[in-house]
Chain A
């Protein structure tokens, strides 16, 4: 099972772009890279998923280099409501293992 490493915490200001990088050196061929967001006392919420290159949706972008050993979640123009914990998961067959995540704090 591919282990992920991401920063424990990050600070940003409203209106800035935030990039959270996740390292997954032993990712397997069948693994997908998925990011979830969690607010205090709420269940995690799916943000974005990708396999390679770049994926974009209405919330975020996910950049995956060719070797797939890392990925970067990009949140454009964050607001105070984006303060949350962000989890990077690498898995297939729904074997979802959550690490500690990155606690993002957006300041005014």
Chain B
């Protein structure tokens, strides 16, 4: 089954403790991206990657890092999480950077205390 898989689905952590949210897709998609969703602010793009070893900042990249060492994986790294990064995170992938359908993961609900 074609899908985008995020892990973990839920995470509670403490301020400053590094964490990684994994994202994997099995559709051989070139394009992957990360969003965060907050009440009243909608979905905002954090980072995106147009292909392996190619990443770029979205609208709200501060406090986040990403890597794209292989096509299927696009982890989101929070080096020193802070409470304002408490949010619902979504990973998405699409065939390429043109006008194609995007597939989203199930989401990761992160709470930083």
Contacts and interface: CB of A to CB of B under 8 A. Distances in A.
Contacts of B43: 44, 87, 98
Interface string B93-105: 0101111111111
Interface residues of B, number: 27
Given A97-B45, A101-B42, A91 B103 contact: no
Nearest to A51: B99
Given A94-B48, A97-B45, A99-B42, A41 B107 contact: yes
If over half of A's interface residues share one DSSP class (helix, strand or loop), that class is named, otherwise mixed; here it is loop
| Interface bin, chain A | 20 to 34
B46 interface: no
Nearest to B94: A94
B2 to A, nearest CB: 12
Contact of B88 (A41, A46, A91): A41
A96 B94 CA distance: 11
Contact of A46 (B31, B45, B96, B101): B101
Given A42-B106, A44-B43, A99-B42, A94 B90 contact: no
Interface in B60-113: 88, 90, 92, 94, 96-107, 109
A18 B31 CA distance: 33
A93 interface: yes
Contacts, number: 57
Q: Which of A36, A44, A92 has most B Cβ within 10 Å?
A: A44
B22 to A, nearest CB: 15
Interface string A66-108: 0000000000000000000001000111101111110000000
A46 B31 CA distance: 16
Contacts of A42: 104, 106-107
13 contacts: A34-B99, A36-B102, A41-B88, A42-B106, A43-B4, A87-B43, A93-B98, A94-B48, A94-B97, A94-B102, A96-B33, A96-B102, A101-B42
Interface of A: 32, 34, 36, 41-46, 49, 87, 91-94, 96-101
